[in-house]
A = this chain, B = another copy of it.
Amino acid sequence: VSAPVIKRVAILATVLVVVGCGAPAIETVPTADPLPSWSDGAPRAAILDFVARVTDANGVDFVAPAERIAVFDNDGTLIVEQPSVVQFEFLYARIRQLSGEHPEWRDSPALRAVMDDDRQALAAMTFRERGELVTKGQANVYQPDFARAVQDFLATGRHSRFGERYVNLVYEPMLELIRLLHANDFRVFVVSGGGIDFIREFSESAYGIARENVIGSSMNSGLKERDGRLEVYRKPGWDSLNAGSFKPLNIQLHIGRRPILAVGNSDGDLDMLRFAHDGMLPSLVLLLKHDDAEREYVYAKEAQRALDAAEQKGWSVVSMRDDFATVFGK
């Protein structure tokens, strides 16, 4: 074997190792622009600059791969949450489905509102009333049966305005950002106020995020035998309601590290965004602003404190109207 051949072998091997190991879970072809669905502007520039800085082994802002943790809120950050969050639509559909066996449910105003699809009553519902819906729709069921019910809903339910399956209403720019982070050795987590086991049913296929990288609200549970097999059984009551200060606390519980990149869209994300911002490593915080009535929605009613904090702390406010060249994938 001649010297040039050996050299070519070595180069080939190096290329294969480097390419093969960067992002094993995502099928991405390296292109000149990793963020084609982002318009030119400050947020896009901030993302590209941040990723370049923390991955530059010779730079002062280098962050070791082990420390590259990114967290994304779910509803309104990765996926449409208007006119109501996807999981509520699941809950309503499931309660209607189960209500045939439960004529007594009509005695409850909350359950009656669901059965009659009374959108005004549903929107005005108290926390306690919603808790009753969660118990009826998501508790007292074996975990695998719950998962199947979620899958059935995702395969059949459609968004009231867009007429699309909900998993098609994921923001394309955020998917590009997740892929860019994966390609740069970040571990990416969903940190949602929504149900942990609900989001896991689509996180891998829709986001490319493994089930174990989903953090969310969780219900009480116990072990039960069915046909001689141990199964997880979902019980009434919250184990953890993952919003506000519980987002950083559950990040500590599930990840055990402070994120260096955090993305949210509402006041419920504020503590999580601050938690990333307050670390000793370089950090990037993005706040998505819903200001595009034509392609999505305009709302900010539960984001005012977060928007104020963004201005005060210099976080990147992402305008859906101005910064998203594309909102949804095809």
Contacts and interface: CB of A to CB of B under 8 A. Distances in A.
Contacts of A245: 222-223
A305 interface: no
Interface in A220-276: 221-223, 228-232, 239, 245, 248-249, 252-257, 271, 274-275
A254 to B, nearest CB: 6
A275 B275 CA distance: 35
A232 B252 CA distance: 8
A254 B254 contact: yes
A214 interface: yes
Interface in A16-45: 16-17, 20-21, 24
A13 interface: yes
Contacts of A289: none
A211 B259 CA distance: 13
Nearest to A204: B66
A248 B271 contact: no
24 contacts: A8-B9, A17-B17, A20-B21, A21-B21, A66-B204, A66-B210, A187-B212, A196-B256, A197-B256, A211-B255, A211-B256, A212-B256, A212-B257, A218-B253, A221-B252, A222-B245, A223-B248, A223-B275, A229-B278, A230-B271, A230-B274, A230-B278, A231-B278, A232-B249
